Amino acid sequence: MKTGVFLTLLLACCLLAFAGCGKSPSSTSGTQEKSAGTQQSAKGKIDPCALITKAEAEAALGEPVGEPQCDTSASPTGQALCVYSSSTSDRFVQISVTETSAMAETLRVQGESAGTIYRATKDNYEPVTEVPGIGDDAFWGVPGLHVLKGDVYVCIAVGNTNKPENLELAQGLAEIAVPRLP
């Protein structure tokens, strides 16, 4: 992969991750709570708020969270983002989903995929800790638990990656989310 393409994709992912996101009409808590599987928007993108529900985020954090803030807008990398923020502290659960099928055709023609982005991320982050038994491949590194399953790359962030308890928290959430992937 060319370094310029990787840096552009990484910058796009970081901007989405840190910019926050607006509420999506397709990600209401009532719809989420009924879902036991993956929901997809009209464009076929996986709804990241359906991978982990509000109730599941609250149970994991042990405190109430607000309504999910979800961004499933058009991203060239096919990334969709969902954030549950605590109502009482600065804790959060963030789920990022990158799908090959949702990527811009121009990127797919160049050989980009969820897998190439996952591997480039893994190769360029230090330190990373291998996390066996989740998806096809998984590692722990900034900003959280990165999981590749088929043509879908999921990152679950729950806070500072230097805190061992956050890896355990993210693993528990991944055990819920990954089986819901197509």
93-133, pLDDT tens digit by residue? 999 999 999 999 999 999 999 999 999 999 999 889 999 99
Burial environment of residue 65 by CB neighbours within 10 A (0 to 12, 13 to 18, 19 or more): buried
Q: Which residues of the chain have pLDDT under 50?
A: 1-43
Q: Can you read off the two tokens belonging to residue 182?
A: 């197509």
Domain ranges of the chain: 3-35+46-180
Assign domain 3-35+46-180 one CATH number from 1.10.3300, 3.40.1000, 3.30.360, 1.10.8.
3.40.1000
Q: Which is it for strands 144-149 and 137-141: parallel, antiparallel or unpaired?
A: antiparallel
What global pTM score does this model have? 0.79
**What is the rounded CA–CA span in Å between residue 91 and residue 72?**
22
pLDDT of residue 26: 37
pLDDT of residue 180: 97
